[in-house]
Structure 1
């Protein structure tokens, strides 16, 4: 233990149990609510002569703050026995025995040195937040303990009670610490009027008005500072403007390390700290006695089908709300003002969604490949990655050349990982350095990695960022990773920015649909629009860095982009270039052309005069499938033949062919080979094609099985109507059926025709399949009704024995 006297905090009572768990199982989960001292006291208590204690925090601001607090407890400056390492910044020394790092730094370190030589204990703090790097670090450490270092102690800490799953993954017990020292009075403060739920990045200004009013109420109802939780930097600025005259301090991830640290130092008077979720855990903001919670959080979402990723605003979970409220009780009794009702609170999700469930997994997949487990199988991940998201990530890595066909990491993949940023941005950095120089490529990638500025013009944001020390420090780090590639010149800054963005997101290269418009088509096939009034609308080409598509929207909204030209687009998205012959059905006819494409963007095309006949035939088939058989010329002979064949198939089954639409569309039409365009389809001999579906045996039997006409007793040859395959109809005048005792039968005697008996004027008077029964029971009524109306026609009393006739009674006698 580094410190002789531990602070009087609840965690102290749990330390013996923690030590026993680590000594026995080698791993454990510590559940300790906010304010108990788990982040700062436990590492000091576990430090011993066995080796270094490494504490992994999910955020840089938390890592720096934890190191400063532990150093202060020892009466030292950071960099002595307690130090920290975050991306782009390291403060450690030869005497450092407790090192606080971000989980991302820990994952990189595990790749370089899986044994973690010199490290005795690793503490994974705030595991309940379920960041991707936290899940990876946990899985890798379990693997290391199993295969390389069974003496490595691993402690996962969580501020929530749902720790059993972590314990199962680690293979150690759960140790619980007592709750905070000071009570927090939770007050429900929903807005008085209606507030529109958040949508995408948009937050209703009425909610921000209410948050500002609640902050003023919190200041009036008690002493101490107020910590207000808001979803993002934009809302922090909006609420700060609404609190004019009140001292405010911002705390969010886009600030420089110095500005973040300043927010965590005591102020000279009362103040309001406006923070994002970075202040939920691991941090003590000194002086805070009240928390105002807007109830919103910003999380990543990825549209894998379109390759679009964005941050969206969602309600917090109940666990996160508890964490936030606990900030008010760290130093004294406090108050928490929740800007929603208790009924709404009960409907909130219990826990925050794990980042693995919805985030872009490209960097995650590269880490798995570097570890030797491309699909994550065999690793103790708390939750398996979604299959679709992991497949999309693997496809991106293959396109970047980071992994081979077997999923194993390549030398290129190791180089991309070494840049310490997202694989897409690493590709833009390394390839962009050769195109625009290492300095400019690094500056643009630093801008993309943590978007600064509120406009959609990235080139303008690049110029504005040059006064930001945090951005300059990150750009210098990336420049070192890119090497010393000189700037070859030739590209102005705006096009240089566009080229680097396009190297990162080649499928988001976009061309204007019309000159000077706001509508674009991206190479990936997604339509996208600039916001009204955007200064980028004059650009014929754009490299889109950030776009999102609202559910149900016809196109995506471009959030950040840089101008581009066609040569740069071709260069950056060369893998999407294709020169193809296309023969297909489009616009109601066969289209045959030679097309040069950049993904979905047509760069050039010319008409083909001699397309491949097989391709033309396939296009005509597609036209028939899309628009139907009405494209053919269905003359009466073809229509009637189709009906006869349908009857044969219904009555007798195979080998009589089916002739419904689906069957005919799938059939082999001999004349289709001579057709070249839509008009040629009307020249096809449809009746001949239908007869071609029959074998010689069925062709010879057709007229016997389904005759086109039947001879009736009068000698007339009457056409059979096969419109209904289940009930062929013979329409015949009553006088012509005299002497006919039974209706004729078709299909080898299986199906009786349905007789439509007609008046002399051709109107139906009876419908029957049982002619004998009609003569016996129904004819008398027909005779009574019609013989007065048609006195010139014969109406014998016994039609079954009468002579049939096509004529009147006088002509029949003659």
Structure 2
């Protein structure tokens, strides 16, 4: 009786009850609606029961409720069953991957959005379902967005009587309302607001100490985690009753903070960990809660973002928010996907803080400075904008919307991500060249795993057997715990013997996958006869992994480094048992911030034969005639490759002279014309010709690298090696390009002399390497020289560098007459004391030029 009373009390306390009449009216009139209600108001539990007619004796309907996570689906079903005084499987049931509790009596079935998508693909009309409710749409999970888009299609084309309800906890209701009717005539869907009791929450900012590094990739500074643990202790001390809910980005950080809380002394509290990989019993214990005043230790619940809105954690009076969350990121160029740590959005931080005020006034501790609030993103990134879209692209193609064309989506998928997804689907045989799904692709979509894994399941089963293939694919569908190691074969053995939460989920998934890959007899026979069965050893694990990710097959490059066929390098941890493997099939890899290569997280050993078999689609044979810089010659070979990995080469016969010539020219372009024989005179001649080409133009030729290479047929001859190129006289090549036919070549010495005779009698070399020709000569050798020489037919004056007796620049001028008049006195005053043995006449314009000192001059006199 007491239990029945508590259930009735729970029903009456749910604030969303006041909105139920409006919600029923909206669905009856329009068939679709948006429910905006804050977390904790009962939208996930009371609303489905009411829509199914299980609370007021109304006619019963079949209601399908879609939740974004397995944990949320199980929790919602258990809570609704409890409200009816039942266990799941009666009038309320649930279906998640690997677990199903429904019966003929079930009227409300809670599923994950992934399960809903599979049902829609099997039968678009959803026979027997009267109402579909998509919960927690504000979280913007890709499966939820996709399910809404498909259901909008179903209502518009197949079942206008199907009622569709979208529930959100944030202020994005208007956008959803417009989306739900985008394919119908008429106004936007009605928005029904459910108010909730808003207990005050005291928000207190607790910024970390200075020097804490911001997150990079999956790395979170341990100093921040120590600060979070200290803030949890503060919450236990300063908030007198109730539990503490602490938000952290992932299971790894949850484990580290749990260990920190177990160290030293502090208020007694039971520490519980809530995340997707936690055992079901732990999840249920957290969500059952403990009312304040019940006695026993208080609880500290360390949770990922799963507890932001889709789960109710009773008894919480304090929230500690690390300010971090995890979002998916995909490197489409390298085929690497991973999670990255980001600052939590303003909307999510408000959701987190609100958890402290669900049942009574509470306190929220934010582990960042108050001034950072405004700089945080307003909303979390929609998954469609950042995730790998391969599975989404296949779902869309099988739905009849290749490229997601015409789907009712709040955000259009990025074109680059969709293009990358299309390439993958074509490679695994899921779509044809026009993007239409193949029958094989439709089977892949129904397996409930990523198309890459579906390909490994279907093709691997024929080679290693369906049971073994299912086990390996189950291992790949949810990354095993870190303690299983990075060797996929050893991780498979650990999963088989393990009795942990992961092992239980793995066994259930392997059973499900084995059932999904049972083909028709004719197809099974054809596949089985195509390849012999194998023994299920480590290489077979590698084969199945490689079938899923052929571009991640990698060959050893020593020291734990591997080159994958995609062209990306990947490295193993120092202690990895895989470091000696000649080939690897990489199942999971990411690219941490600051790493030059990918980091292998899970992989399997391969031999070369298996590597070639698995990555056969990337097998190429090409003829290559190229300049080899290391050998210094033209190399002609036939190369067998798997993508970027060369696995075999053979000498090519006699390549055509055109291909050899092209290879030599390519080598000259890469290495430069320095491969030719360049004497000092040849370099000078090139600079002189270039000067005249720049100043006078035609007929003086362009002698830049590009221009010389364009005329290589005139001078290259039959050279194919570095030694033969080194015998080509660059000076002779240049001389042959001079304008002999017009007679201008004879004026080269006049227009751009190699040397100029100065008043002392010296013949000094002109430097043509800069923009203006330079004559560098000792100042005393120019006494009496009033006019600066001009070159290129008088167009360009020489730039004279006047040198000290030690050969260092003392002055620069293009006007000697002005220098003798104005500049010489200051140079004379500065240098005559430093160089007293050299002449420094007062009138240099009338003095005798000389290359000698005063003593030599006197001796000569």
TM-score by length of 1: 0.84
Q: Distance in 2 between matches of 1:541 and 1:229?
A: 41
The answer to whether the aligner puts 1:629 opposite 2:678 as a matched pair is: no
Aligned to 1:576: 618
Aligned to 1:804: none
More deviation, 540-549/65-74: 65-74
Deviations 1:248-292 (A, max 9, x none): 433221245455334323469543333222222221223333333
Check 1:612–1:261 CA distance in 2 against 1; reply closer, same or farther (3 A cut).
farther
The answer to whether the aligner puts 1:294 opposite 2:338 as a matched pair is: no
Q: Secondary structure at the match of 1:335?
A: strand
Cα distance, 1:699 vs. partner? Answer: 6.9
Cα distance, 1:676 vs. partner? Answer: 0.9
Aligned to 2:78: 68
Aligned to 1:222: 240
Deviations 1:158-197 (A, max 9, x none): 2122444334433435443324343333343445675443
Aligned to 2:249: 231
Check 1:169–1:776 CA distance in 2 against 1; reply closer, same or farther (3 A cut).
same
Check 1:784–1:237 CA distance in 2 against 1; reply closer, same or farther (3 A cut).
closer
Aligned to 1:385: 413
Cα distance, 1:58 vs. partner? Answer: 0.8
Aligned length: 786
Aligned to 2:145: 135
Q: Distance in 2 between matches of 1:216 and 1:326?
A: 20
The answer to whether the aligner puts 1:112 opposite 2:122 as a matched pair is: yes
Q: Distance in 1 between matches of 2:575 and 2:398?
A: 45
Q: Secondary structure at the match of 1:202?
A: coil
For the aligned residue pairs, the C-alpha RMSD in angstroms reads 4.4
2:218–2:592 CA contact under 8 A, matched in 1:
no
1:53–1:121 CA contact under 8 A, matched in 2:
yes
Cα distance, 1:422 vs. partner? Answer: 0.6
Aligned to 2:581: 539
Q: Distance in 2 between matches of 1:768 and 1:189?
A: 69
Q: Secondary structure at the match of 1:264?
A: helix
1:28–1:156 CA contact under 8 A, matched in 2:
yes
1:732–1:755 CA contact under 8 A, matched in 2:
no
The answer to whether the aligner puts 1:282 opposite 2:299 as a matched pair is: no
The answer to whether the aligner puts 1:457 opposite 2:487 as a matched pair is: yes
The answer to whether the aligner puts 1:686 opposite 2:730 as a matched pair is: yes
Aligned to 2:66: 56
Cα distance, 1:59 vs. partner? Answer: 0.7
Cα distance, 1:99 vs. partner? Answer: 2.7
Q: Secondary structure at the match of 1:408?
A: coil
Q: How do 1:704-719 and structure 2 match up within 5 A? A: none
Deviations 1:429-480 (A, max 9, x none): 1122122211111111111111122122222222222232221111100111
More deviation, 5-14/470-479: 5-14
Q: Distance in 2 between matches of 1:741 and 1:340?
A: 77
More deviation, 481-490/118-127: 481-490
1:368 pairs with 396, 400, 422, which one? 396
Q: How do 1:410-489 and structure 2 match up within 5 A? A: 410-454=438-482, 455-466=485-496, 467=499, 468-483=503-518
Cα distance, 1:488 vs. partner? Answer: 6.1
Unaligned runs of 5+ in 2: 1-7, 54-58, 181-187, 263-267, 825-841, 853-861
Aligned to 1:499: 543
2:790–2:796 CA contact under 8 A, matched in 1:
yes
Check 1:766–1:264 CA distance in 2 against 1; reply closer, same or farther (3 A cut).
closer
Deviations 1:296-328 (A, max 9, x none): 222222222222222223332222222223233
Q: Distance in 2 between matches of 1:82 and 1:733?
A: 104
Check 1:758–1:423 CA distance in 2 against 1; reply closer, same or farther (3 A cut).
closer
Cα distance, 1:35 vs. partner? Answer: 0.8
The answer to whether the aligner puts 1:34 opposite 2:44 as a matched pair is: no
1:651–1:750 CA contact under 8 A, matched in 2:
no
Q: Secondary structure at the match of 1:311?
A: strand
Q: How do 1:84-483 and structure 2 match up within 5 A? A: 84-170=94-180, 171-191=188-208, 195-220=212-237, 221-244=239-262, 246-257=269-280, 259-266=282-289, 269-270=296-297, 271-454=299-482, 455-466=485-496, 467=499, 468-483=503-518
Cα distance, 1:774 vs. partner? Answer: 12
Q: Secondary structure at the match of 1:452?
A: coil
Q: Distance in 2 between matches of 1:99 and 1:329?
A: 30
Q: Distance in 2 between matches of 1:225 and 1:755?
A: 85
Check 1:640–1:77 CA distance in 2 against 1; reply closer, same or farther (3 A cut).
same
Aligned to 1:587: 630
TM-score by length of 2: 0.79
Deviations 1:470-500 (A, max 9, x none): 2111110011112277996644532222221
Check 1:768–1:603 CA distance in 2 against 1; reply closer, same or farther (3 A cut).
closer
Check 1:623–1:174 CA distance in 2 against 1; reply closer, same or farther (3 A cut).
farther
Cα distance, 1:47 vs. partner? Answer: 3.9
The answer to whether the aligner puts 1:15 opposite 2:20 as a matched pair is: yes
Q: Distance in 2 between matches of 1:533 and 1:285?
A: 40
Check 1:276–1:788 CA distance in 2 against 1; reply closer, same or farther (3 A cut).
closer
More deviation, 259-268/379-388: 259-268
Check 1:675–1:551 CA distance in 2 against 1; reply closer, same or farther (3 A cut).
farther
Q: Distance in 2 between matches of 1:151 and 1:242?
A: 55
1:576–1:599 CA contact under 8 A, matched in 2:
yes
Q: How do 1:519-534 and structure 2 match up within 5 A? A: 519-534=561-576
